[in-house]
Copies of this chain bind each other. A is one copy, B any other.
Amino acid sequence: MKYILFFLFVSIISSAQVTKEQLDIMPWPQNINLSEGYFIVSKDFKVNITGTPNARIFVGATNFLRRLDGRTGKFFNQGFITGLNEVPDAQLQINCVRSGKIELYEDESYLLDVTTSKITINATTDIGALHGLETLLQLLQNNSSSFYFPVSKISDFPRFTWRGLMIDGARHFMPVDVIKRNLDGMAAVKMNVFHWHLVDDQGWRIEMKKHSKLIEMASDGNYYTQEEIKNIIKYAADRGILVVPEIDVPGHASAILTAYPEIGSKVEILNVGNGEKGQQFKQIQKYDVERNAGIFTPTLDPSNPKTYELLSSIFDEVCPLFPGKFFHIGGDENEGKDWDSNPKIQEFKKKHNLANNHELQTYFTMQLVPMLKKHNKVLMGWEEIMTKNMSKDAIIHSWKGANEGVPAGQSLVNAVKGGYKTVLSNGYYIDLVYGVENHYTVDPMPKNIALTDEEKARILGGEAPMWTELATPATIDSRIWPRTAAIAERLWSNESVTDLTSLRKRLNTISFRLEELGLTHLKSKEGLLRNISNNQRSEALLDLSNVCEPLKGYSRNSEGTEYKMYSPLTLFADVCTPDASDAILFNQAVSNYLSNKSLVNKLVVFSYLNKWIKMNSELNVLSNNAPLVQPLLPLSKRLNDVSQELLLVLDNKSTLKSDDLKKLIEDCNTKEYADVELAVYAGLKRLL
């Protein structure tokens, strides 16, 4: 079966002309025309650069050469590209009109023209040219002996100007190499904003020379040095990516308050000796870096002038590190509990005519605007910052949806109607490990709401947040990739590009190619499974991981205390990923069988059922020497039991009562074991 498909594929690519359907480009370009003929990649392949580009194109073109050489094994003669017009007769000519700026609304377009003997990339800016090089790498085809580019013309540009990925370096610290390889991944799919969540309850991650208590007391030694930050910004800029830092205030403040408890809002109630004087209050003297996940009460005191003095001084140190125009100040999930119970703050509210905690928070946030403006920064914050007095310059980051009890992306519409620019993140929470279609079908541009052109223009784009309560350097890549490539396509490509079958096919190749950038989303699986199996080689454990997905949404670690920030994330749920590969194939096989009950279609379904029966038996043997396999056995057994019965059912040999069979299948809708669910449940159920 595998071979039949395979030969089919080979025969297609050997035929006269490559078709669009064969191409695994992502994001899909705005315009693409294919013609007959090939440009064959040879050892003499060379790149030449003309025009007036920024020097980042030399880095980018050199990296392009190395990646193409790594794929083709051609041993290119050309080494490092360091200047203009070094090889005038090179086969690949890149011309850039001017130096690109790392800012919103920059011209990122490019024209790519492949003929049988020459390739040209023309772009206004080097940033557009870098996008063209990524497209060219994705164009690469091969037959049995050669690698080639199909003759083609592509003209391309992005639909939205903000195509972001957020990485939370606070919950689990993500070292420099993790950030860099993900910046490479972003560039490969033409994303251009890296939002770096640097401060939260669980840690302060920016080296501070003037406020060193923050790293001494609130980082566990895990922080980015100022040099590393500058280095990452340079690395990002070399890839056309803007870095937007975030210091989350006034909530999510446990780390800040561990170092500076004097600006916290919490008070202790003191029963003073003389009861007549009533209660007195004392500012809390001690906070601790949070080890759990969740929403916590430690909050900065908006009534304390010292709060603003400190923040202003912190921004004076942090802002100059980041050349970009935007600074994210968080502002989310402040429940104001410590505000309510602090009489000094209540008094402050009254005095300033602030009707509620939201207005108080706006008061607080508005104090930050000039602190940032002083450094030419525009304030950005999660949607909670948007209240009636909020500055119209602020960018509203829309994140709430059904889980928070509001319509998805409601704040985005409110923002643009209220005159704010906005970025959508609701629907793009990749840390919640939903399947790719959940993100791909979310468009920043609302479908059924009438917006003026002006309002539409305020929708800057979207951003995928990768929160790291449940991700470590070893697992974060598999939570980001490949699904983020689909979000990148939603934000770059024409809104009509929505076919899920095409998406899945292309994503498979894109995912594989992302590995060459050092991303570990595929290869880390093997090492983690080896730990679980206790170094026993096992196809069975891999098979099980290919039909299981980690619990979705907030259902894993739902109380926030089971997994602390130092708990092991080396478990089966950490190996499993959304879009479990065998589950997708099985569910497809079931569809095929239900639409045509041919013998072949039936045998494919049977092959899965038999595989799972064998898997279960092997896992039992494996578990004799692998304690970490034990918790998986009930799961495997349920799949085994239903598989055995379904083999009989499909051959009309089952003697089981209908209700008992249903129960067998419903047992596979389990979420009780090992923090994973069986992703084949839906397919199994349809077989009834």
Contact = CB atoms under 8 A, between A and B. Distances in A.
B225 A73 contact: no
A128 B527 CA distance: 29
A353 interface: no
Given A6-B621, A225-B227, A291-B79, A534 B142 contact: yes
Contacts of A624: 6-7, 10, 144
A509 B535 contact: yes
Nearest to A7: B624
Interface string A330-367: 00000000000000000000000000000000000000
Given A142-B534, A144-B624, A568-B69, A523 B527 contact: yes
A524 interface: yes
A86 to B, nearest CB: 14
A625 B13 contact: yes
Interface string A490-508: 0000000000000000001
A147 interface: yes
Interface in A494-544: 508-509, 512, 515-516, 518, 520, 522-524, 526-527, 530-531, 534-536
A9 B625 contact: yes
A630 interface: yes
A176 interface: yes
Given A142-B625, A625-B10, A627-B72, A566 B530 contact: no
Contacts of A522: 526-527, 530
A538 to B, nearest CB: 11
Contacts of A3: 621
Given A66-B566, A225-B227, A71 B144 contact: no
Contacts of A473: 518
A73 B571 contact: yes
A106 interface: no
B144 A80 contact: no
Contacts of A7: 624
Contacts of A80: 220, 566
Contacts of A526: 522-523, 526
A407 interface: no
A92 B520 CA distance: 35
A177 B175 CA distance: 9
A1 to B, nearest CB: 13
B570 A70 contact: yes
A564 interface: yes
A452 interface: no
Nearest to A178: B177
Contacts of A389: none
A572 B385 CA distance: 55
Interface string A115-157: 0000000000000000000000000001111110000000000
Interface in A38-71: 59, 65-66, 69-71
Most buried by B among A59, A221, A571: A221
A73 B567 CA distance: 8
A145 B623 CA distance: 8
Contacts of A562: 75
A183 to B, nearest CB: 14
Contact of A567 (B75, B524, B563): B75
A146 B536 CA distance: 17
A546 to B, nearest CB: 11
A104 interface: no
A628 interface: yes
Nearest to A144: B624
Contacts of A146: 627
A291 B79 CA distance: 8
B79 A568 contact: no
A637 to B, nearest CB: 16
Nearest to A516: B531
Nearest to A571: B73
A565 B562 CA distance: 49
Nearest to A513: B535
A9 B534 CA distance: 13
A568 B220 contact: no
Interface in A624-659: 624-628, 630
A625 B79 contact: no
B568 A142 contact: no
A7 B620 CA distance: 12
A451 to B, nearest CB: 42
B566 A79 contact: yes
Nearest to A515: B527
Interface of A: 3, 6-7, 9-10, 13, 59, 65-66, 69-76, 79-80, 142-147, 175-177, 220-221, 225, 227, 231, 291, 473-474, 508-509, 512, 515-516, 518, 520, 522-524, 526-527, 530-531, 534-536, 562-568, 570-571, 621, 623-628, 630
26 contacts: A6-B624, A6-B625, A10-B625, A13-B625, A59-B221, A69-B566, A69-B567, A70-B531, A70-B568, A72-B627, A73-B571, A73-B628, A75-B562, A75-B564, A142-B627, A144-B623, A144-B625, A145-B627, A146-B627, A176-B176, A177-B177, A473-B518, A509-B535, A512-B530, A515-B530, A515-B531
- Which 7 residue pairs are nearest across A and B when measured between Cβ atoms? A177-B177, A70-B570, A512-B535, A523-B527, A69-B568, A79-B566, A70-B568
